[in-house]
Amino acid sequence: MSMICLDDFEAYTECFLPSAVWDFYAGGADDCESRDRNLLAFKRIRLRPRVLRDVSAVDMRTTIQGTEISFPVGIAPTGISSMACPDGEVCIAKAADAMKTCYIASTYATCSLEDIVAVSSGCCWFQLYVFKRREVTERLVQRVKSLGYKALVVTVDVPYIGKRRKDMLNDFKIPAHLKLKNFEIFKKDKDRNDNLPLCNDVLDPAVTWSDIQWLRSLTDLPIILKGILTKEDAELAVRHGVQGIIVSNHGGRQLDGVSATIEVLPEIVEAVRSCVEVYVDGGIRRGTDVLKALALGAKCVFIGRPVIWGLTYKENKCLEYSLSTLQMIGKFYG
Ligand SMILES: Cc1cc2nc3c(=O)[nH]c(=O)nc-3n(C[C@H](O)[C@H](O)[C@H](O)COP(=O)(O)O)c2cc1C
């Protein structure tokens, strides 16, 4: 199979992963309208190329939150990445480091935040959820700060977990051999639940803007809000002193029926670009998508699912480990 574009990696992954795992990674909420719209909206935007410019040497470096990255594409947080490849998040962090770009490690990683940052010499950010038990969040923030993460990315679009029908049908659970490593310190704690991401009980649906102030009081790291989709909320974010915004609809996994992120990017850029850096994720699958996002004002883009497809492909190429992982996952899903 020739691997030419990201769609090829996606097709490969669909064939290769157990279907419940594929459904978890690929899925969106409800009718998957917003997930699909993210992709379609890029196709509707036309380029207006200028010619006879010297493009023999192209410098794609940029900075995000003051750190230089080699090109304006970072890696979005994806929980439970080790179903695609053992040590999933550590592998992603190594890849990001090799490419000199940014990786946002998920709260729901299957590798510990200590192990992830240990392989990163550059730009590693941490994605945070706010839990009902605030001390759990507070302890995560303290660990992040002491370990050398460069920014805190607070995901603000998950008051409740999106209704992902396929996961419900599959009764999706984290395979028994994997753990949410960031919660191991809560071993004897009732917050240690290996299926935390699928469980609304622990996330706090009562989070408001005042909690952003609370988080600010816990850390002097840059705070970036992920999941902003309107200029009104972008303006509120600025007023609450954040340093960045990721225009995101969680890859269409949360509230279905919202706009594609690239559709709302311009209004947000216009409202706040002079105050904070604006990034975007959702449906970015080719260089021209990146170009469109930058042309519409994003400082950098982030990609989610394609990294999982890449991990799966890499893993199959390194057969020595993948067979045992698949057997374990296979046993779990029958
Ligand atoms: C399998 C999967 C797990 C995800 N886990 C998280 C997460 O733990 N935290 C978070 O803020 N976003 C999470 N996201 C959303 C991504 O960070 C990102 O917003 C989205 O994937 C971007 O869209 P794309 O997949 O089309 O590139 C997840 C997305 C996927 C596909």
**324's tokens:** 């045992």
Hey, how many other C-beta atoms are within 10 angstroms of the C-beta on 193?
16
CA–CA dist 45, 60 (Å, integer): 22
CA–CA dist 145, 120 (Å, integer): 15
Taking only the tens place, the pLDDT of each residue in 303-313 is 999 999 999 99
CA–CA dist 209, 187 (Å, integer): 31
> What distance in angstroms lies between residue 250's CA and the mean position of ligand 1's atoms?
5
CA–CA dist 240, 233 (Å, integer): 10
Substitution site in 78, 157, 182 for ligand 1 pocket (most atoms within 8 Å of beta carbon): 78
> What distance in angstroms lies between residue 49's CA and the mean position of ligand 1's atoms?
31
Substitution site in 224, 250, 258 for ligand 1 pocket (most atoms within 8 Å of beta carbon): 250
Which atom of ligand 1 is nearest to 35's Cα?
A: 26
Q: Contact 92/307 with Cβ under 8 angstroms?
A: yes
Pairing of strands 67-69, 244-247: unpaired
At residue 323, the pLDDT reads 52
Q: Which residues pair with 104 in a beta bridge?
A: 125
Torsion of CA 88, 93, 94, 97, to 10 degrees: 160
Distance (Å) of CA 183 to CA 1, 140, 254 = 39, 9, 23
In the predicted structure, residue 185 carries a pLDDT above the cut 50? yes
- Residue count of the chain: 334
At residue 194, the pLDDT reads 61
Pairing of strands 244-247, 277-281: parallel
Asked if residue 90 is part of any domain, the answer here is: no
Q: Contact 39/47 with Cβ under 8 angstroms?
A: no
Whether 112 lines ligand 1, by a CB cut-off of 6 Å, is no
Asked if residue 317 is part of any domain, the answer here is: yes
Domain that holds residue 164: 6-45+125-178+206-333
Q: Which residues of 146-163 are buried (b: 16+ CB within 10 A; e: fewer)?
A: ebebbbbbbbbbbeebbe
Q: Is residue 240 flagged as an active site residue?
A: no
Whether 34 lines ligand 1, by a CB cut-off of 6 Å, is no
> What distance in angstroms lies between residue 327's CA and the mean position of ligand 1's atoms?
26
In the predicted structure, residue 107 carries a pLDDT above the cut 90? yes
Asked if residue 106 is part of any domain, the answer here is: no
Asked if residue 215 is part of any domain, the answer here is: yes
Instruction: Give the pLDDT band of residue 320 (cuts 50, 70, 90).
Output: very low
Q: State whether the Cα torsion 287-288-289-295 is positive or negative.
A: positive
Hey, how many other C-beta atoms are within 10 angstroms of the C-beta on 4?
8
Instruction: Give the pLDDT band of residue 316 (cuts 50, 70, 90).
Output: confident
Alpha carbon nearest to ligand 1 atom 3, residue: 78
For every residue of 277-306, DSSP letters joined together read EEEEESS--SHHHHHHHHHTT-SEEEE-HH
For the chain, how many structural domains are there in total?
1
- Please provide the average confidence, as pLDDT, over all residues in the chain: 92
Asked if residue 34 is part of any domain, the answer here is: yes
Q: Contact 254/275 with Cβ under 8 angstroms?
A: no
Asked if residue 107 is part of any domain, the answer here is: no
In the predicted structure, residue 225 carries a pLDDT above the cut 70? yes
Alpha carbon nearest to ligand 1 atom 13, residue: 78
Whether 303 lines ligand 1, by a CB cut-off of 6 Å, is yes
Fill in the DSSP letter of residue 47. P
Instruction: Give the pLDDT band of residue 281 (cuts 50, 70, 90).
Output: very high
For the chain, give the longest Cα–Cα distance. Answer: 66
Mean pLDDT of 121-130: 96
Asked if residue 25 is part of any domain, the answer here is: yes
* CATH number of the structural domain spanning residue 281: 3.20.20.70
Hey, how many other C-beta atoms are within 10 angstroms of the C-beta on 14?
15
Rg of the chain over all Cα atoms, to the nearest angstrom: 19
Taking only the tens place, the pLDDT of each residue in 75-106 is 999 999 999 999 999 999 999 999 999 999 99
Q: Contact 211/128 with Cβ under 8 angstroms?
A: no
Asked if residue 194 is part of any domain, the answer here is: no
Catalytic residue among 150, 164, 226, 250: 250
Mean pLDDT of 117-143: 95
Q: Read off the pTM.
A: 0.93
At residue 208, the pLDDT reads 98
Mean pLDDT of 42-71: 97
